[in-house]
Structure formats: C-alpha cells, structure tokens
Amino acid sequence: MKLSNETLQLLKRHGSVRQFTDKPVTEEQLAAIIEAGQMASTSSNVQAYSVIAVTDQALKSKLAGLAGNQVYIEQCPIFLVWCADLYRLREVAKPHLDGATSYEDSTENLIVATVDVALAAQNAAVAAESLDLGIVYIGGIRNCIAEVSELLGLPDLVYPLFGMCIGYPAGTAGQRPRLPLQAVLHRERYNAETMVEQVKVYDEVTSEYMRERTGGANAAPWSAIMAKRLAEPTRLHMKEFLHGKGFMKQ
C-alpha cells in the first residue's frame, strides 16, 4: 500500500501552469513563498542565491521576448527570476579576509550556488501551490542570458538560473508521466541494465501519452524525444557567459 498524506498529495498533484487569471498575488503571499524558499537546505549556510520579483508589465514583456516569446511571463502577476549569487559572499567576506586568497570564483562554489538556487526555488514552488497558486519554471531566460542580466542589473558573480511564473491557474494543469521508480531508484550501486529496461517500459507509456495529447499526430517515445534534444546545440553560449561573469576561474 502506498503511503499518503497531505504533503505527499500536494507534491504529486504538481503540474506546470501556463495560463493565469488576472487575480493578483499579494505581498503577504510573496513573502510567505520566499521565506519558505529560504528554509531549504543550503551548503554550509552560504545561501548563495537572490530572487528578483518582477511585476512591472513592460519589464515582464521584455523578459518574455528574451525567453522565446513565452506569453505567460506577461500574463502571470509575478515573475520571479532565481539567481545564483556569489557576489554577496565576496562583498561581505572582504573585510574579514586580511589579504588571504578568496575562492568565490571556483567551479565548486558555482555548483554550490546553483544547487542552492534550485533547492530554494523548489521549496518556494511547493509553498505557492499550498496557497492554491500555480507555477511554471522558465529556463528560457538563459536563451539571451547576457541581455537578461543587463536588464536586471545583475553584477559579476550573479547569474539568472531560471524564471518562475506565479499566479492563480486559469484551468487545470496537466501532468506528464514520470519515469518508473525503478529507473531512478538504485540499490547499493548503479544498475545500468535495470535502468535501460525500465526506460523501455516508460517509452510505451510516453508514446501513448503523446498520441493522446496530439490527437494521433505524434507518438514519439521519451527516448526519441531526448535523442532529438541532445542532438540540438542548445545555449552553447553559457560557458563563455559564466566565465565573463567571473565564475569558474579556479
């Protein structure tokens, strides 16, 4: 028998929302959502992230354009831009270093900051959904990441990882089937053979899902969709951008 409680049910109901009503998100709701995000685990308590809340319609429109003309950025009441932030650490540590070498620009610290952002954002997403709000993550802000960074005034050692639309859903969010548990959960060591077999099972599920979703126009299995994705050179500018922002120098 599968375990179930209110928290598990909330988590399992998640679906990305891409249509929002014009009902506003209150400042109290925003504060509660971000505070919940702040309680996520953080490596060594560095809390290496910042969040830009965008409500100005003109600015949201510009961001929507830079993210690939995703109109729900314009439609949602609040658009959050989640940023990895090592600038704050560098600045507040300076008075205490006494000339010692500082490694805020190391690759490890980039990983730490990136993980911190993701953990905090997911906490915030669950908090929003607990308030009957809907969310969708927007990785498209990395399409034109330099322009987004300039638009938001991000200093060196800060980069926008993804956006998040928040608002009241207009309609029901759809859910895509996920990989079988056995394809994700390994025991004691990685089991490549089991993983491959479970993906074959998942391919059948996703093929049927795509067939139903597209009215028979597309029945591509997950592995074929992933192959197409890997074959596309996506955001190859990221390495140069991160180096230019002062990351991964060590």
The full set of domains in the chain, from first to last, is 6-175+233-244 (3.40.109.10), 181-219 (no CATH)
Angle at 114 (CA atoms; ends 134, 38), nearest 5 degrees: 55
Query: Is residue 184 predicted with pLDDT exceeding 80?
Result: yes
The CA distance from 110 to 242, in Å, is: 9
Under the banding of pLDDT at 50, 70 and 90, the label for residue 175 is confident
Under the banding of pLDDT at 50, 70 and 90, the label for residue 237 is very high
Question: Model confidence over 88-121: pLDDT tens digits?
Answer: 999 999 999 998 999 999 999 999 999 999 999 9
Q: Which residue has the higher pLDDT, 238 or 173?
A: 238
Angle at 79 (CA atoms; ends 74, 84), nearest 5 degrees: 135
